[in-house]
Structure 1
Amino acid sequence: MDSTPIKANTKLNNPKSFSKNKFSKDNQPKSDKDCKLGVYSASNDSSNKRYKFYWGYKNHIIVDAISGLPIAETTTPADVPDFDVALSLLADTNNWFKLTGTNFIADKGYDVKKLYNYVRNTLHGHCFIPLNKRNSKNPPLTDDGYIVCEAGIKMLKDGKQYFDGFIKQKFVCKFCNSKDDSACPIQHPKYFNGKKHRGCTKYVIISSDYRSSINRDSLYFKAVYRLRVESKR
């Protein structure tokens, strides 16, 4: 599945237009009251992404990755997220064209848990979607799964908290129980917090859901994901 931008017929989309704030949400084009402000990638280079704003719509399409034939499509204002459309379009399509056991292939714009859960639990299929790093708020970890503090010292694991679909791993300062005021090499303010357990505390989210179980480095994942090119044609 993929989407493509459709520009509205307005002078604000003209690159030669020098109107002030032409891509401000408050500057609705007078020639098209239904279009919305959207953004799309103007470069395929993942190391140097360039984005462009436009007024208009988006066309969303489900394509058979083998034959290249379109199965379903819909058009929305440009500000509607791709993943929201994917959920509704998949559900509507499944009512008249059974998608049971489907391999859902899409780019990282569709990397949201509710879409994974729908494909897995309702369609009993599999997702082939790259991780969107913007959705990850975890600090970097060492190879053995520990956080390194600002002083360059490996923090200690201090228990887990269990939630629906994910686990929070707690990390504490190596010197959290120390009475030595000079133990922290950078004299971090949190080391002098006046509490029984001193120093920094950090958390890492350990997902236990379907999205996190996918091996995106496998040859199988990469081979199937390459079929996404059909939706770009």
Structure 2
Amino acid sequence: MAVIYRQEILQDITFFTSAPKAQFYDKLFLNLDLSEFPEYTAKTGRNGFSKRALLCAFIVMKCECFSCITDLIDYLNNNLIIAHYCGFNIMKPLPSHRTVDRFILELNNDLLKKLMKSQVLKLSKMGIIDTSFIALDSTPVSANTRQNNPKSFAKNKFSKDNQPRSDKDCGLGVHTASNQHNERNFEYYWGYKNHILVDCITGLPIYELTTSDNVSDSTAALDILSQTNSFLSVDECTFLADKGYDVKAIYNTVKELYHGEYVIPLNKRNTKDPKKLASGHPICEAGLAMHKNGKLSDNGRTRQKYCCPLKNSKCASCPCDHKNWNNGKKHRGCTKYVTISDDYRLSIDRECISFKKLYALRTEAERYNSRFKQTGQERLWGHSFNAAQNLNSVAHIALLAVALAAIVTKSNSSYRCLKSVKRIA
């Protein structure tokens, strides 16, 4: 009789997985709507494994912060109740490494974009996600190549002409510790960028886009705003971003097209800060206040021209003996140009208290990027652009699914903290 009881206990899969973790995945997949995600895509032959089950397996991978498929397969084989919640038939062998790898490599990313869009719209209808204050930021994702290995001593491993053989789609980028123009703490790497638009109030993602790392942040910003506005209005929003997005086209688009406001620090781009009087007149190298001498309009901007105060003097000489004073021409002396702040970019008072308080909300994008990296997305194991963008999308879907499950089930833990939700599920 004891042998029979022992055999029944061994056959009960619930004994081999902790109850909170099993309940966590049960609630997670019950509140994840996959009705529009195709379950089988094969038109001929056997169906194979369910595509929805494979997607749920990758969501488990991101929730457990695994960085490779081998860890995921071992985890599912040792926790069959979770594999059952994913949708697999645990009475049969689970998918192999090759099957799981082929799924993420060949999956159409538009399906994942559509799934993430439905999650965002559901949270928006519940009053959780809002576009009143949105922040855009990018995070680097390193490619799986030996040239990113710090112990590799290959020559010219970060040369543009030395494209990694293992990943022909990745680009060469540079990652700095901050956006200061004189920042020297930086490193080169081969990989991709994941651009993410975040709700600054809830800290949840709204839209994401993966590009090669040689694509600038400002180039992707307008496309992200346009794609987001196609399903969730960003009209009258407050757009927050760092110095990397200090581009005139972004200001004009946010103001004129979306009727919103912008909170972006000024990127001086190595320009010199000339000495000026309180009236705004610049001071020349000799220490003299320069005089206005007309305006100049070019390239869509208006600049005030200032000339040497001794320009029309017949007897005076330049105190500093400037090279332009003795140039043999009638109009002598140095000239300077000051851009008149008639555009949106230069009309912002970046020293006021309201600007600084609003810009502090942008740190929510940094916090989300930290949670995104913890899912195992700091370095990829795939070797193609499609695999990179699919893995990035699945990570965002997993974090949204955790937040949605925590909100629907009225969990006491913060829906932004993955570990606490798993702990008290």
TM-score under structure 2 normalisation?
A: 0.52
- Deviation, 1:42, is 2.8
Relative to total residues, which structure has the larger strand share, 1 or 2? Answer: 1
Paired with 1:45 and 1:191, the residues of 2 have a C-alpha distance of 37
2:262 pairs with 1:127: yes
Paired with 2:181 and 2:288, the residues of 1 have a C-alpha distance of 33
Task: Map 1:210-221; keep pairs closer than 5 Å.
Answer: 210-221=344-355
Where structure 2 has 5 or more consecutive residues not aligned to the other structure, the ranges are: 1-135, 368-425
Please point out which of 89, 92, 97 is paired with 2:227: 92
Please point out which of 182, 185, 201 is paired with 1:50: 185
SS of the aligned residue for 2:324 comes to helix
Please point out which of 275, 288, 294 is paired with 1:159: 294
Which of 1 and 2 has greater Rg? 2
- Deviation, 1:197, is 1.6
Q: Which moved more, 1:161-170 or 1:110-119?
A: 161-170
Q: Deviations over 1:1-41 (max 9, x none)?
A: 10000001111111111222211111111111100011111
Paired with 2:359 and 2:184, the residues of 1 have a C-alpha distance of 20
2:273 pairs with 1:106: no
Structure 2 counterpart of 1:227:
361
Superposition CA RMSD, Å: 2.1
Q: Which moved more, 1:105-114 or 1:35-44?
A: 35-44
Paired with 2:339 and 2:181, the residues of 1 have a C-alpha distance of 26
Please point out which of 167, 176, 179 is paired with 2:314: 179
Paired with 1:43 and 1:112, the residues of 2 have a C-alpha distance of 18
Paired with 2:229 and 2:262, the residues of 1 have a C-alpha distance of 16
Change (3 A) 1:129 1:227: same
SS of the aligned residue for 2:211 comes to strand
Q: Answer whether contact 1:170 1:204 (CA < 8 A) is retained.
A: yes
Percent identity between matched residues is: 55
Change (3 A) 1:36 1:93: same
Report the count of equivalent residues: 232
Relative to total residues, which structure has the larger helix share, 1 or 2? Answer: 2
SS of the aligned residue for 1:59 comes to strand
Higher relative contact order (CA 8 A, sep 6+): 2
Runs of 4+ in 1 over 6 A off after TM superposition: 44-47
Change (3 A) 1:28 1:39: same
Partner letter of residue 141 of structure 1?
K
Partner letter of residue 203 of structure 1?
Y
Please point out which of 192, 203, 207 is paired with 1:68: 203
SS of the aligned residue for 1:75 comes to strand
- Deviation, 1:152, is 2.3
Q: Answer whether contact 1:169 1:203 (CA < 8 A) is retained.
A: yes
Q: Which moved more, 1:75-84 or 1:191-200?
A: 191-200
2:320 pairs with 1:190: no
